[in-house]
Amino acid sequence: MDFVTVIGFDDLTYNFQNQGMGVITSWIIMLFLYVIPYSLMVGQLGSVFNHEGGGLTSWVRGTSGEFLGYFTAWTYWAASIPYVVDTANSIVVGLGWAYSGNAGLQEHMSNGWFAFWTLVTFIVFIFVQSRFKRSLEVLSTIGGIAMFGMTVLFVLMTFAGLAAGGHIATQPMNIHTIIPKFDLHYLTTIGLLIYAVNGAELIAPFVTKMRHPKREFPKAMIMLAVMTAFLTIFGSFSLGVFFNGYHLPNDLKMNGSYYAFQALGKQYHMGNTLMYIFAWTEVFYLAALLAVLLDAMTRMLISDTGAKYMPKVLSKKNANGLPVNGYLLTCGLSAFIMMLGIFLPSMNDIFNWLLNLNGIISPGVTCWIFFAFIKIRQDSKKFPSDYVYIKNDKLALTVGWWCLIVTALATIFGIGPQDVGFGTSTWWYELVINFVAIIVLIGLGAVLPYVTRRENRSTTGSAFTRLQWSGILAAIFLTIIGDLYLGGSNYEHNIVSIVTISVLGVALVIIFGWKEFNLKEN
């Protein structure tokens, strides 16, 4: 269960483009100095807070109070926004490959249309998950296992081809080839490595369900490390067989998985058969995953946070029990993230930037795990558990601080743009929108308690009147639509126009929501 949440074939291509064959050494270092300690820490946290469901929010709430628990829930949810947008983007790309059998989509689709179809994908799957939620959870698990099977198949067929006299594209292939270049660019790519291997916290609730957690959980995590090692090391080497690690395609992150299976099929004289099988497997898995994610992340936000800080309007459900306002917030922020990317030169740049944004925000949220672990080991008598990672508290704290510092530094360095030339206009633009995305996604979490206080001050229990809500939502919606349209056009002054529309939209939101009505008498 844990394996399908930790690593996938796409994670290999993402990091292969960042570091080339040197990523093999990076994977080995990550496995022993990060993945195993991280997974075992999660095991102890899940054991300590087993009566609260073992969620990340409950860990921080149990060690540091209600507000930090709420803020953890918000940041964990906010970190999911770029992830679900990236998933929706990947579905659009996957459908392009499944339909046409090539990468022509990026040549014929403008940034605006790419964003538009991504939003359509959101709307479709919010509807779909409300009808088939349980079956999609099963299908996403089956799809994850199928993706693992395709990855193993890729590795085995690659080595079988080499044994039959196949050619290795990366030349020269020697010990120096797999040693990464430790420079500033390398530091900016560590976050995406962490993003690729995190997710172990999702199985924390199952630690206490094992027959003998003290013995079985460490064995399970070692098995996880062995499986991850096989996939990352041999998978990355297999990519080096088909791609020259010294001269990689610029669109490898977006299309690399399809290129790889296309090349494998060519080697075995199977045409595009393997690529089509992979493409439909990818679409099938990502579609089910997106539907489950959209529901799970929204429900987690409104159900596992303190009522003192979370506005009631977000937890309001319709006749079918669906948190529609939470879905609207998810779609709105997803549209905002896509809007930031439409200024970039191409569809490939949008895909790469969005993926790299995950490499900033996701590790940042992972810091909460190590923060909670440090807290329970600082007072281990107050937080007893059936499973204990490293009995000596001082040594455990040293490992906890190590993981926290590495993750925090990876988050900070990850803000530096990758995939584009240093100091170019695109580099500076990506740096700016990285900060904008982080400030908006995390900063909105500080705004929601203000909305909650307005609800509490109102005799009607609503922070805004129906007319105010209509004005606020209309201003946001029209701003997003206007920016998306201009972003996909060739209008000479489109950036100035987009900034003007955005500023005007923010001003209208403030104007509509400024005045408070129906205040309670003191």
List pLDDT tens digits, range 69-110. 888 888 888 888 888 888 888 888 888 888 888 877 777 778
pLDDT given for residue 161 in this prediction = 87
Most confident of 40-44, 92-96, 162-166, 401-405: 401-405
Residue 197 pLDDT > 70: yes
Residue 404 pLDDT > 90: yes
Q: How far apart are CA 20 and CA 24, in angstroms?
A: 8
Per-residue pLDDT tens digits for 323-369: 777 777 877 888 888 888 887 888 888 888 888 888 888 888 889 99
248 secondary structure, DSSP code: -
pLDDT given for residue 409 in this prediction = 92
Residue 399: band (very low, low, confident or very high) from pLDDT cuts 50, 70, 90: very high
Residue 408: band (very low, low, confident or very high) from pLDDT cuts 50, 70, 90: very high
Residue 156 pLDDT > 60: yes
Residue 304 pLDDT > 60: no
> Which run of H or E residues covers position 457?
helix 425-457
Per-residue pLDDT tens digits for 265-283: 888 888 889 999 999 988 8
Per-residue pLDDT tens digits for 30-66: 888 888 888 888 888 877 877 665 477 788 888 888 8
174 secondary structure, DSSP code: S
Q: How far apart are CA 425 and CA 343, in angstroms?
A: 11
Which residue ranges form the domains of the chain, and what is each CATH number?
2-457 (1.20.1740.10)
pLDDT given for residue 135 in this prediction = 62
Most confident of 16-20, 199-203, 253-257, 401-405: 401-405
- Does the CA dihedral 226-231-232-237 come out positive or negative? positive
pLDDT given for residue 246 in this prediction = 87
Residue 491 pLDDT > 80: no
Per-residue pLDDT tens digits for 235-249: 899 999 999 888 888
**Mean pLDDT across the chain, nearest whole number?**
82
Q: Provide the CB-side half-sphere exposure for 89 (13 A, CA).
A: 30
pLDDT given for residue 133 in this prediction = 59
Q: What are phi and psi of 519, to 5 degrees?
A: -70, 145
Angle at 355 between CA 350 and CA 356, to 5 degrees: 100
Residue 522 pLDDT > 60: no
Q: Which residue has the higher pLDDT, 387 or 301?
A: 387
Residue 137: band (very low, low, confident or very high) from pLDDT cuts 50, 70, 90: low
pLDDT given for residue 400 in this prediction = 93
Residue 483 pLDDT > 80: no
Where helices occur in 268-392 by DSSP H, the ranges are 273-303, 312-315, 324-341, 347-378
Residue 283 · residue 95 · CB < 8 Å: yes
